[in-house]
Amino acid sequence: MMCAGIDSGSRTIKAVVVDGGDLRVLASGVADQGVRQCALASKLLDSVLKNAGINRRGIRRIVATGYGRDALPFADMTITEITCHARGVHHQRADARTVIDIGGQDSKLLRLDAGGKVRDFVMNDRCAAGTGRFLEVVAARLGVGLSALGKLAGRSKKATAISDTCVVFAETEIIGLLASGETPANIAAGVQVSLATRIASMAGRSRGDPIVFTGGVALVPGMAEVLESALGHPVQVARHPQFTGALGAAILAATGE
């Protein structure tokens, strides 16, 4: 029998289906989040199953996680994204000791023990300046897509110092920088550095190697390298980083942990 995990995030919904025996990933998919979270998540799961030729009756258990997990009544149970990201990363890399997850609405730093359990964690869910939303706002102001922001930053000669830590004020600051002749590339690089510095501040001195980077922001080109510089430690991007939470949820559904 098969099991499914659904990560209902603030910006996107992810679904992963695994074999209940050997935990192989059989199918996965992603869709934009919206107001009708339950309908969107159910539609995504149906689409993922159909594309993989899997009958929904063959799904033994569904675990929901993420920001909107409580809005999915068709799930058999809900588990926090902290636990799910830890399980998903441990499944891919058993020696991981630190997980950095930067999503659209929050950022998390998890410290894992040798068995992949969460020893402790730090979470930023109060200020958008430490999340993917910050990058989205800046990308829109600079007239590029989020995926192109990293490429733009890669052309920077010198990262601009971004002094404001609030998204609203930072956007105002960026308008002023553009008006003064600062290049979009330098501003983009400065914003990446600002975000990475916030994460490094969350981490403090207590972090273990290897460090694994997950979440949608991990897909932004150059972001892992900027994090490495801020942390002073190597950072590995998880395989399919956007799906780590859904993968962990699917594995927990299969193992009953």
List the CATH number of the domain containing 41: 3.30.420.40
Least Cα distance to 218 among 239, 197, 248, 198 occurs for 239
Say whether both 10 and 81 belong to one domain. yes
Report d(CA 242, CA 213) in Å as an integer: 10
Say whether both 101 and 218 belong to one domain. yes
**Beta strand segments in the chain, E:** 2-8, 12-19, 25-32, 59-65, 77-78, 98-102, 107-112, 118-124, 211-214, 235-237
Q: What is the distance between the terminal CA atoms of the chain, rounded to a whole angstrom?
A: 17
**pLDDT per residue of the chain (257 residues) written in tens, 0 to 9:** 899 999 999 889 999 999 999 999 999 999 999 889 999 999 999 999 999 999 999 999 999 999 899 999 999 999 999 999 999 999 999 999 999 999 877 889 999 999 999 999 988 766 655 677 888 888 888 989 888 898 999 999 899 988 766 666 777 888 899 999 999 999 999 989 988 988 888 887 666 789 999 998 999 989 999 999 999 999 999 999 999 999 999 999 999 87
Pairing of β 59-65 and β 77-78:
parallel
Note down the domain range covering 246: 1-93+242-257
For residue 210, the tally of other CB atoms under 10 A from its CB is 15
Say whether both 57 and 165 belong to one domain. no
Say whether both 131 and 228 belong to one domain. yes
pTM for the full predicted model = 0.90
Q: Cis omega (within 30 of 0) on the bond before 184? A: no
Please state the domain count of the chain.
2
Report d(CA 27, CA 208) in Å as an integer: 32
